[in-house]
Amino acid sequence: MPQAWCYSDLAFFCKMEVKMEKATRFPIKFRLGDVQYVDRLEGKRASY
């Protein structure tokens, strides 16, 4: 199981997602590419 993330270590768009989710109480996600590609970049998938 991955360790919990630290807010200060997050990238710009991730920080914006956290702020918007706190304000709206609804998860909002920004993706710069298709889901499979971004998941691979984030280490969630082994291959594209």
Give the tens place of pLDDT for each residue, 7-47. Answer: 888 888 888 888 999 999 998 887 777 878 877 877 777 66
Number of domains in the chain: 1
Residue 29 lies in a domain: yes
pLDDT for the residue numbered 3? 65
For residues 48 and 35, the model is more confident at 35
Amino acid residing at 37: Y
Let me know: does 34 contact 42? Beta carbons within 8 Å.
Answer: no
pTM over 0.85: no
Residue 48 lies in a domain: no
pLDDT for the residue numbered 24? 94
Domain that holds residue 24: 7-41
Split at pLDDT 50, 70, 90, the class of 1 is very low
Rounded CA separation 38/15 (Å): 17
